[in-house]
Amino acid sequence: MHPFLQYRPDIDGLRAIAVIAVVLYHAFPTFIPGGFIGVDVFFVISGYLITGIILNDAKKDRLSILNFYSRRIRRLFPALILVLFCCMGFGWFFLFDPEYKQLGKHVASGMGFVANLNLWSESGYFDSAAEMKPLLHLWSLGVEEQFYLIWPFVVWMGWTLRKTSLVVVPVLILASFAYSVAKVNSDPAGAFYSPLTRFWELAAGGLLVYRNAYFKLENTARTIPRWLIETS
């Protein structure tokens, strides 16, 4: 079994905490106003696991970008199609025409993994209530898949050029984080939905994997780049 696909009770524990935080936030927003941070935790976990899989494949000289996207499609589409189909069926009987038309738009954006961009474009004074958007949660899936459009190439480049990733990844994280901070006051909806303001969270999870992939801690408290060890 792939080492990053093995059962990890510690990661499962983090997921449980994240889910509980998000559920409590939606159920009791005044009781736990910061519960939405559970989504941020999921982003970091996702970046950690996916980067580990990509790096492990690169180390074994079997990294294929097409296979990576093929695995993502096989993993996501069965559940996604079921959810979209059920929502369209429910909406047919219980939504008015304008609401059902909006639902169809959300279904299309969900299938294209651009739900976050669609929701961002709808935000504003005349935006409908969140309760009328059963696919609102797909915004986070959109952010993830937009991140993974470029991330495999970043990881591949970093692995091929070795030390490059130790510079490129932290720079990408800092740039995305700075952009998210700048957008909070000027465009809160953009800071929430934009993939550029969220990339640093997924990349931060990937950086944890890079730490293990390129460095080995010795008993002498001295850190030696692993790529030097492997090529010596």
pLDDT digit string (tens) for the chain, length 232 residues: 555 556 778 888 998 999 899 888 888 888 888 888 999 999 999 999 998 888 888 877 787 888 889 989 999 999 999 999 999 999 999 888 888 999 999 999 999 999 999 999 988 755 666 667 888 889 999 999 999 999 998 888 877 776 666 788 889 999 999 999 999 999 999 999 999 999 999 999 998 887 776 665 434 344 444 443 444 3
- For residue 227, what pLDDT is reported? 43
Per-residue DSSP letters for 52-105?
HHHHHHHHTT---HHHHHHHHHHHHHHHHHHHHHHHHHHHHHHS-HHHHHHHHH
- For residue 222, what pLDDT is reported? 43
Strands (E) across the chain are located at: 215-217, 223-225
Alpha-carbon span 133 to 87, nearest angstrom: 10
Alpha-carbon span 135 to 54, nearest angstrom: 29
Q: What are phi and psi of 225, to 5 degrees?
A: -60, 125
- For residue 221, what pLDDT is reported? 43
Alpha-carbon span 186 to 192, nearest angstrom: 12
Report the 10 Å Cβ neighbour count for 191. 18
Report CA dihedral (89, 99, 23, 177) to the nearest 10 degrees.
Answer: 120
Selection from 71, 70, 186, 202 nearest residue 146 by Cα: 202
